[in-house]
């Protein structure tokens, strides 16, 4: 049976890196997923409408603009058939507080079977953000990042209550990327 999985993690935790590794491993076994970046769907619409110039500006848009972009992305992604993996955020840190990445209408469109949180220690995430000059990353404090990761666990529980999906945590620690890739691949098999 086709599976719908949502993979999340605070910016810079390395979720895209872990997803790429896990999907390459599964591909060798003949297991295929459509790999969909929710942020890319949102960004293409936001760019076409002149709302942003780069993807890091999206979290600064008004709450209403972000919600409209979410709704349109979810509607488009929901049409994908077969095994689907959606690379997104459990919550987005905006200037007005955390915005749910998957509000009710997005969850209803996506109907996930599995929800994954990619996590690691806050000092490692800060180091990765500092080492990524290609992006305009928030330079959070250790405490702010801990609060974001803990909020993401809380909201994942709400998503599980709403949809009946399971929730799993994958640790992507420094020097242990292979282990994270193994763990995610095992969840997706
Ligand atoms: P999206 O496209 O999902 O985010 P992104 O910015 O591309 O990815 P992240 O910032 O989460 O980075 P990452 O964790 O994937 O890290 P990476 O693998 O690059 O979203 C873009 C925007 O869209 C969001 O900001 C938001 O505005 C919007 N959006 C998306 N979904 C939304 C939603 N549902 N609702 C509202 N808005 C939404 O790795 C980072 C670095 O770490 C790399 O240098 C990598 O080499 C390194 N690294 C990775 N793993 C390891 C390791 N084990 N050891 C050492 N280094 C490592």
Rounded Cα gap, residues 167 and 187, in angstroms: 10
Q: What is the pLDDT of residue 123?
A: 95
Residue of 36, 75, 89 with the most ligand 1 atoms within 8 Å of its CB, for mutation = 89
- Is the distance from CB of 87 to CB of 38 less than 8 angstroms? yes
The answer to whether the CB of 92 is under 6 A from ligand 1 is yes
Catalogue all structural domains in the chain, each as residue range(s) with its CATH number. Answer: 4-188 (3.40.50.300)
pTM > 0.85: yes
The answer to whether the CB of 112 is under 6 A from ligand 1 is no
> Distances from the Cα of 121 to the Cαs of 16, 94, 149, 155, in angstroms?
17, 22, 10, 19
Q: What is the pLDDT of residue 133?
A: 84
**Among residues of the chain, what percentage have pLDDT more than 90?**
90
pLDDT band, very low/low/confident/very high, at 184 (cuts 50, 70, 90): very high
Between strands 91-94 and 84-87, the pairing is unpaired
Residue of 7, 10, 12, 120 with the most ligand 1 atoms within 8 Å of its CB, for mutation = 12
pLDDT at 126 over 80: yes
């Amino acid at each position: 049976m086709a599976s719908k999985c949502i993979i999340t993690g605070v910016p810079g935790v390395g979720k895209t890196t872990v997803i790429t590794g896990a999907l390459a491993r599964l591909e060798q076994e003949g297991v295929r997923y459509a790999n969909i970046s929710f942020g890319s769907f949102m960004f293409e619409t936001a760019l076409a409408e002149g709302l942003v110039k780069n993807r890091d500006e999206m979290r600064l848009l008004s709450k209403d603009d972000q919600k409209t972009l979410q709704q349109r992305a979810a509607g488009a992604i929901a049409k994908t058939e077969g095994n689907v993996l959606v690379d997104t955020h459990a919550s987005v840190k905006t200037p007005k507080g955390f915005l749910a990445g998957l509000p009710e209408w997005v969850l209803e469109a996506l109907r996930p079977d599995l929800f994954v949180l990619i996590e690691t220690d806050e000092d490692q995430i800060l180091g990765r953000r500092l080492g990524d000059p290609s992006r305009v990353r928030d330079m959070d404090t250790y405490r702010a990042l801990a609060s974001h990761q803990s909020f993401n666990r809380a909201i994942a529980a709400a998503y599980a209550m709403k949809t009946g999906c399971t929730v799993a945590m994958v640790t992507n620690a420094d020097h242990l990327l292979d282990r994270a890739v193994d763990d995610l691949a095992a969840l997706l098999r």
